[in-house]
Amino acid sequence: MSKKNFTNIVILTGAGISAESGIKTFRDQNGLWENHDILDVATPQGFERDPELVHRFYNLRRAQLLSDEVKPNQAHFALARLEKEFNGQVVIVTQNVDNLHEKAGSKNVLHMHGELLKMRCSKSKQSFSISKDITSARACPCCLEEGNLRPHIVWFGERPFHMNEIQQALSTCDLFLSIGTSGQVYPAAMFVDLAKESLAHTVEFNTNSTDVSDKFDEHRLGKAGVEVEKFVDELLS
Ligand code: NAD
Q: What pLDDT, on the 0 to 100 scale, is given for residue 56?
A: 94
Instruction: State the DSSP H helix or E strand holding residue 127, giving kind and residue range, or none if neither.
Output: strand 127-129
207 lines ligand 1 (CB under 6 A): yes
Enter the pTM of the model: 0.95
25 lines ligand 1 (CB under 6 A): yes
Q: What pLDDT, on the 0 to 100 scale, is given for residue 26?
A: 77
Ranges in the chain, pLDDT < 50:
none
**Residue of the CA atom closest to atom 8 of ligand 1:** 182
**Residue of the CA atom closest to atom 22 of ligand 1:** 16
157 phi-psi bin (left φ>0, alpha ψ -120 to 50, beta other): left
User: Would you please indicate which residues are annotated as catalytic (active-site) residues?
Assistant: 113
Separation of CA 18 and ligand 1 centre (Å): 7
Q: What pLDDT, on the 0 to 100 scale, is given for residue 28?
A: 63
Q: What pLDDT, on the 0 to 100 scale, is given for residue 29?
A: 59
Per-state percent for the chain, helix, strand, coil, to nearest 5:
35, 20, 40
pLDDT in tens, 201-219: 999 999 999 999 999 999 9
CA 55 from chain centre, in angstroms, equals 20
Q: What pLDDT, on the 0 to 100 scale, is given for residue 5?
A: 80
Q: What pLDDT, on the 0 to 100 scale, is given for residue 192?
A: 98
Determine the atom of ligand 1 nearest the C-alpha atom of 14.
Answer: 26
pLDDT in tens, 140-154: 989 999 999 999 999
Separation of CA 15 and ligand 1 centre (Å): 2
Say how far apart CA 33 and CA 31 lie, in whole Å: 7
Q: What pLDDT, on the 0 to 100 scale, is given for residue 98?
A: 97
Q: What pLDDT, on the 0 to 100 scale, is given for residue 25?
A: 82
Say how far apart CA 145 and CA 77 lie, in whole Å: 41
